[in-house]
Amino acid sequence: MNSPLLPIIIPFAFAILLMFAPKQLMFQRIGAMIGAILTVGASVWLLQKVATDGIQVVTFGSWPVPYGITMVSDMVSILFVLTSSIITLFAIWYSYRTIGVGREQFFYYPGILLMLVGVNGAFTTGDIFNLFVFFEVLLMASYLLSVLGGEKIQFRESIKYILVNVVSSAFFVITVAMLYSVVGTLNMADIAQKVSEVNQPGILTAIAIMLLVVFGLKAAIFPLFFWLPSSYSGPPLPVLALFGALLTKVGVYAIMRTFTLFFVGDIAFTHTLLLYLSVATIVVGCIGALAVWDVKKIIIYNIVIAVGVILYGIATYNDTGLLGSMFYVVHDMLIKAALFFLVGIIIYITGQTNLKKMGGLMKHYPSLGWLYLIAAFSLAGIPPLSGFIGKMLLVKGGFEAEQTASSIWILLSSLIVLLSVIRIFVYAFWGKEKETTPINRSVYWQLWIPTALLVALTIVYGVGADAVMPYMAKAAETLANPQIYIDAVKGGQ
């Protein structure tokens, strides 16, 4: 009965445990790793349970449904939860050799686990105010992670990051207050039912746009992405990988949920707006990714592009588009984390982030080079790899919705994505060898192994798409039919 809560409670319990002895290095490392492994295990188990037994619902305190806080694990949320748990596991592994003992002894691992609590909670919750609370949980933890270490750039960037997020959180509360005053309930299934009963009048469309602004600030869609490139260049790499893979996707998930569950009464307006915004998001992401020469920032701008691509599938709002979105978002979370890990290794070897000053890494690090090439092709969507099916379905959904021009633009944007990431390959791995700082080979291999495993996972995800398809189809079905979700939550009465 309480199964949806396992991926939230386990990291929370381990975070509490780790807080008792922050200075014990081995205790911190092993504890965090065990916590992450158990979370992944619980998520896999829950995925199977959702696949065989249907949507899992628990309402806190045994209260009847609209009155208590409901946690709902449907296929959409459990896929997000599983992916984030896997990425957190790899980020913890990657942190051992990169993050530094000073940070590790100052609540770094509890911070990561608490962020996972917030992320998993936000994906699982079935209550709009509880969603806000979990947003705050993950944001508080991300503030800690972004400022931990106390370098000058971290202080500067986390000030911006916190300011933007405090403003958007305040706006979230205002929007929830408005929504509550209109529909009189906070339970998501109940809201969905009430919204469809009153046939979504103008005030609810206005609230939909306000929610889009709130979640758009978290997810970095076009006019609201301005904080992301600089804020993400502050924190150290494993943290950046976590932020890049998880945090914006929480905003994407929230948009996905609200715009397929609540606000489906005035699609002509809300989803067309979403379509324009997603296309514009891809445009600015592409411009950014081509314009910068900082390896970290190239990948950071690719986050913005991916957010646009995923939202495009929600905007087209047909079965194919939604299926494509689900496929693409899981792929994108995995591959973004892998790319940040790879870039982290490149920065570790060369000792700098400027692409123009790198070169000739292929001679001494061929395995890294080929790994990077696979990840880059996967990001761009070359057929056997994982990015292909998602994007193909998205474009197909776009054509089915008769959005020809924007679908072609999605295809073209893949070329620009490929160009932006292959630039790193061309400049850093080919060409004349440049001077590099002497590095510790064993550290290099200890960073290489988790990265290679994560890349291997994306390959498996791409090649084994047939095996993944039933899960994705079920998720897309839940998104396309809000009634399934409502019935599952309210079924008990």
In whole angstroms, how close is the CB of 81 to other proteins at the nearest point? Answer: 16
- The residues binding other proteins (CB under 8 A) are 1-2, 5, 9, 12-13, 16-17, 19-20, 22, 58-62, 68
Q: How far apart are CA 73 and CA 324, in angstroms?
A: 20
Cβ distance to other proteins smaller for residue 11 or 321: 11
- Tokens 């919204």: give the residue: 195
- With beta carbons less than 8 A apart as the criterion, state whether 451 and 96 touch: no
Q: How far apart are CA 45 and CA 7, in angstroms?
A: 10
In whole angstroms, how close is the CB of 5 to other proteins at the nearest point? Answer: 5
Cβ distance to other proteins smaller for residue 247 or 488: 488
In angstroms, the first-to-last Cα distance of the chain is 16
**Residue 293, Cβ neighbours under 10 Å: how many?**
14
Q: Which residues contact 26 (CB under 8 A, 6 or more apart)?
A: none
In whole angstroms, how close is the CB of 349 to other proteins at the nearest point? Answer: 37
User: Which residue spans within 189-228 are E strands per DSSP?
Assistant: none
Q: Which amino acid is at 141?
A: A
DSSP three-state, residue 301: helix
In whole angstroms, how close is the CB of 262 to other proteins at the nearest point? Answer: 25
Annotate 382-394 with DSSP letters as a single string. Answer: -TTSTHHHHHHHH
In whole angstroms, how close is the CB of 22 to other proteins at the nearest point? Answer: 7
Q: Is the dihedral of CA 288, 290, 293, 298 positive or negative?
A: positive
- Tokens 């959005």: give the residue: 403
Cβ distance to other proteins smaller for residue 17 or 460: 17
In whole angstroms, how close is the CB of 164 to other proteins at the nearest point? Answer: 23
Cβ distance to other proteins smaller for residue 140 or 418: 140
Picking from 75, 96, 70, 78, the residue whose alpha carbon sits closest to that of residue 39 is: 78
Cβ distance to other proteins smaller for residue 11 or 285: 11
Cβ distance to other proteins smaller for residue 131 or 358: 131
Q: What is the DSSP letter of 233?
A: T
Cβ distance to other proteins smaller for residue 1 or 26: 1
In whole angstroms, how close is the CB of 16 to other proteins at the nearest point? Answer: 5
